[in-house]
Amino acid sequence: MDLSGVKLIATDMDGTLLNSKKQLSPSFYNVFDKLKAKGILFATASGRQLYNLQNEFLPVKDDMIFIGENGSFVTYKDKELLVQPLNKAIVPELIRIARTIPDAYTILCGKKQAYVEDANEDFMKNVEMYYDRHTSVDDLLKVTDDDMLKIAICDFAGSEKNSYTFYKQFENELQVKVSGSIWLDISDKMANKGRAIKALQKKFNISFDETMVFGDYMNDLEMMKEAYFSYAVENAHPEIKETARFITASNDEDGVIKVLEQLLDETE
């Protein structure tokens, strides 16, 4: 397998690039610098808020592409490359449904910041982990002065078996993604990581065969289809492993870094 032609790399964060303790590999920045020196573009593609991603990678913020909110918001060098908000008309209905789901809490993910109603301690720990810009409001339905990129459901009963069943009916008109064991994301039909990758390929004149991606969960599915070098980490959801062309070691075994080091070895 010849990796020497790769020009664009995109990786999911949680469960993929980060280990189970939410940590980057100690080798990451050294690898990143070598990729940059070879002119290879690097993107992080996540369900996380854009501002959270930028703060996670402050040392290389000006050299990394950020794909936030599952592809709804893409920037490079602080320039917006893609913004895909939800239709505001459907947002109230989605919020009202969320309020009926047991053991679940709602995050209204705006372009400016995220909005929450509940103050549950475990929920807020998750909000603070992934949303660096957030505020508490009395009523999510009254938030109207922002573009809503996504509605995230933090579901302590398990997103795949609980909250997903409440939104499955919308799959023909929206993106309804189980993005983690306790996370369900609802966004515009055109908002996904795969479309973000296609936009980057077009902007930078990079082909399918020159693209490498890494992922672990269902919000990575479309991205897997936009790169020849599509990798699932060993700990990935079965459907992602089935869709990906290649399998690498788990996130706790630095599976992404191992492939990137192999790529660098082949481009020496």
What domain count does the chain have? 2
CA separation for the pair 101, 78 (Å, rounded):
37
- The answer on 157 and 100 residing in a single domain is yes
Give pLDDT, residue 2. 85
- The answer on 175 and 199 residing in a single domain is no
Which residue segment(s) compose the domain that 26 sits in? 8-84+191-266
CA separation for the pair 220, 15 (Å, rounded):
11
Instruction: Please write the tens of the pLDDT for every residue from 9-56.
Output: 999 999 999 999 999 999 999 999 999 999 999 999 999 999 999 999
- The answer on 107 and 42 residing in a single domain is no
- The answer on 105 and 64 residing in a single domain is no
Instruction: Please write the tens of the pLDDT for every residue from 71-118.
Output: 999 999 999 999 999 999 999 999 999 999 999 999 999 999 999 997
CA separation for the pair 159, 149 (Å, rounded):
19
Per-residue pLDDT band at 155 (split at 50, 70, 90):
very high
Instruction: Read off the pLDDT of each residue in 156-174 and give the average, rounded to a whole number.
Output: 96
- The answer on 141 and 25 residing in a single domain is no
Domain contains 2? no
Domain contains 1? no
- The answer on 109 and 161 residing in a single domain is yes
Instruction: Read off the pLDDT of each residue in 196-212 and give the average, rounded to a whole number.
Output: 98
* Whether residue 207 has pLDDT greater than 80: yes
- The answer on 123 and 211 residing in a single domain is no
- The answer on 201 and 148 residing in a single domain is no
Nearest to 193 by CA among 52, 61, 47: 47
- The answer on 160 and 195 residing in a single domain is no
Domain contains 56? yes
pTM: 0.93
Length of the chain: 268
Final residue of a structural domain among 131, 163, 188: 188
158 to 103, 113, 178: CA distances (angstroms) = 9, 25, 10
Give pLDDT, residue 267. 85
- The answer on 195 and 181 residing in a single domain is no
Final residue of a structural domain among 138, 164, 188: 188
Give pLDDT, residue 228. 98
* Whether residue 1 has pLDDT greater than 90: no
Domain contains 75? yes
The domain that holds 68 is classified in CATH as 3.40.50.1000
Final residue of a structural domain among 188, 221, 251: 188
- The rounded percent of the chain whose pLDDT value lies above 90 is 95
